Chain A
């Protein structure tokens, strides 16, 4: 038998309910793998005692015939952006030094109530601002995938620790957050499935805020079916988040039928960008071919404002961040650096507590919101955002799902693109447009690039149509038959 930590959620669920495996054995296998792979730096905080305690509770429920459902006893790693009661929560920032929440985020509470077992808090870019997990105060995460040059590669970001943990089988699954691509791009870089639900599907309550009109929690898993199972445990209306959708959550796993005959798959021509590597176009073409082979109809579409999505994002997201991050003042929690006056204390604390990328974004945000520039930048960006959303609305009159590449490259080496913020931002060129419109979307492993590293394919559907997303993603996954494994770092095998 394979090691228990290498199972999918689906396989583990069956083994647990058949009594072939206990939640404690499963959790221990993940904890062992996690401890053996510390070199990856995927976790900021490991919570083995808590995990074993919850696994034992899970085993007791299973023994009593009171299983809580599909996530009962399933180990899940949690991005360290979710507030977890009694467990250090850092957002990978120095400014949250020692912060131990007295509350549990709604999403992690939902997962607890569904019986899942948190194994630890995963590393990320500081305040989820980054595309390579290199801005963490706790150091970069290494991608378990390597190529022949032997260099350590980034796992993508910002949910880089979560993606690396799943790819290296340190956990059966993980949760992350996605503001402009922070689940999907690392999923592409690490050869796993990463899904961002519709804005409002998961509660943002208790999650450290970055850009509130964009932030959304979602699953990072080994398979599309696992993503459906995990999202089921996360989603739902929450009165504590006024933007949470007051809608029933459908049975996501039941939507996976294996049948996409007649499904209209849109190929947006504007995603063909100048200077894009041939391997990106090739994987995209392969995705379209796979859908066609499965009986779907391929439709050429146009999303005319695609190229403006990324610059729009870099006005809207920093503006919201500068407002959200004003709460870090050295008074109520975290780091405090004293000063002679209150203002000096604020300036010292924030000067010391924020890293360079966070400072850049807060300053850009403060600038575009400042008197005299508000209309020229912020209002203009929100108008362009309306046009981007219109583009999608028009396209979805003709198609059911949109297919694009997830990322413009495979994982690059740690240290690259560090001196050029805009080059780093370009990582999210394909993922940001759907974020701007709040649409559900998912990256599914499509194959390997010329360098032997994974490349994802990206699917987008209409608001709250996660069911079509899972159905299409599952077929794509089966067609792609991605069986390659990371060639370094992974433990427990």
Chain B
């Protein structure tokens, strides 16, 4: 599998990262090298092996379903780069 610049462009859009056009070829080379290198995993026999989902042999804990915090808009908004309390602001998304 080889990643061309079109594929890298597509992944970058999916990941919401702007990449300048002139940087795409070098980035595609880097990613291709890494993907080519990890493909050695195909040598490993994994028939019937369950994928690991957790390194710790423990079951997920449950707790009572009740509110434990919240109602603290000031604290939540404290680091917002742009806000209109009690809201975050974003560029307009509806016409």
Contacts and interface: CB of A to CB of B under 8 A. Distances in A.
A346 B16 contact: yes
A437 to B, nearest CB: 6
A385 B80 CA distance: 39
A306 to B, nearest CB: 12
A350 B16 contact: yes
Interface in A357-393: 359-360, 362-364, 366-367, 370, 373, 377, 379-387, 389
Interface residues of A, number: 72
Contacts of B58: 200, 245-246
A199 B55 contact: yes
A213 B38 contact: no
Nearest to B10: A370
Contact of A338 (B3, B51, B60, B91): B91
Contacts of B12: 363
Chain B interface size band reads 35 or more
A311 B38 contact: yes
Interface in B75-95: 75-76, 78-82, 88, 90-91, 93
Contact of B41 (A362, A381, A438): A381
A312 interface: yes
Contact of A363 (B1, B11, B52, B93): B11
Contacts of B76: 332
A351 B17 contact: yes
Interface in B37-85: 37-38, 40-44, 46, 49-58, 60-61, 63, 75-76, 78-82
B91 A341 contact: yes
A380 B46 contact: yes
A315 B60 CA distance: 24
A386 B49 contact: yes
B15 A336 contact: no
A326 B3 CA distance: 22
A324 interface: no
Interface stretch (A96-104, A121-129, A187-195): A96-104
B31 A364 contact: yes
B79 A99 contact: yes
A209 B21 CA distance: 30
B30 interface: yes
Interface string A282-308: 000000000000000000000001001
Nearest to B3: A367
Q: Which 6 A-B pairs have the closest CB atoms?
A: A438-B55, A351-B18, A382-B51, A333-B79, A383-B46, A336-B81
30 contacts: A100-B78, A213-B55, A239-B63, A245-B56, A311-B40, A312-B41, A314-B38, A331-B88, A331-B90, A334-B81, A339-B91, A342-B91, A345-B90, A345-B91, A351-B18, A360-B27, A360-B34, A363-B12, A363-B17, A367-B3, A367-B35, A370-B14, A373-B1, A380-B44, A383-B50, A385-B52, A387-B44, A421-B30, A422-B34, A463-B57
Given A333-B79, A380-B42, 15 more contacts: A243-B54, A245-B58, A332-B88, A333-B81, A347-B16, A347-B17, A360-B30, A362-B15, A363-B12, A363-B15, A366-B15, A373-B1, A380-B44, A383-B44, A383-B50
Interface of B: 1, 3, 8, 11-19, 27, 30-31, 33-35, 37-38, 40-44, 46, 49-58, 60-61, 63, 75-76, 78-82, 88, 90-91, 93
